[in-house]
Amino acid sequence: MLTRSAKYAIKALAYLARRPEGGAPVRIGDIAREEKIPQKFLERILLQLNRDGILYSRRGPEGGYGLARPANTIMLGDLIRRIDGPLAPIPCVSVTAYRPCPDCGDESSCGLRLVMKEVRDAMANILDQTSLADMQKRSDAVKGALAETRPTAVKPAHARKPRRSNPTS
Ligand code: SF4
């Protein structure tokens, strides 16, 4: 399961990805307020992403954070591994952090391992091929579709202007 840190990291980066390219860096307080993330928590996450080269930072009164790379090159799988560690639900199916358990009998026929490997592979297939930009496109598409299906608001009768009677009729 995604930790709160990974969820906040993705939300903060998605917020930065929605900003105009080449625009000014965004203050951490603004990101925290807009995305409803506790600021202290966010500071730690953004520092790490800055160290990892995902974000750039600028100091000073006009300072803040911005994406150091285009949003279509920042993959969700990479982000989650940086914050949470391996995607695998158990270490014996991890590609990046393989570890057997001490009571392991026959790894190749272990049913739990066979199922968890499928889970790991399915997650990696999706998350390693989905960028921040792809995620945003999906969200925009759903918002657009919802806006089209939403009925246009009809004013209640008391809010409508009374019709004027025609004095010549
Ligand atoms: S193969 Fe089965 S017993 Fe061995 S480490 Fe994996 S889950 Fe545990």
Look at the chain and count its residues.
169
What single string gives the DSSP state of each residue in 39-50? HHHHHHHHHHHH
Domains of the chain (ranges plus CATH)? 4-141 (1.10.10.10)
Cα separation, 132 vs 124, in Å, equals: 15
Q: How far is the CA of 76 from the centre of ligand 1 (A)?
A: 27
In this structure, which residue's CA is closest to atom 4 in ligand 1?
104
Per-residue pLDDT of the chain (169 residues; tens, 9 = 90+): 899 999 999 999 999 999 988 789 999 999 999 999 999 999 999 999 999 999 999 998 888 999 999 999 999 999 999 999 999 999 999 998 999 988 888 999 999 999 999 999 999 999 999 999 999 999 999 999 999 888 766 666 666 655 555 544 4
Q: What ligand 1 atom has the least distance to the C-alpha of 103? A: 3
Question: What's the pTM?
Answer: 0.83
Q: What ligand 1 atom has the least distance to the C-alpha of 99? A: 5
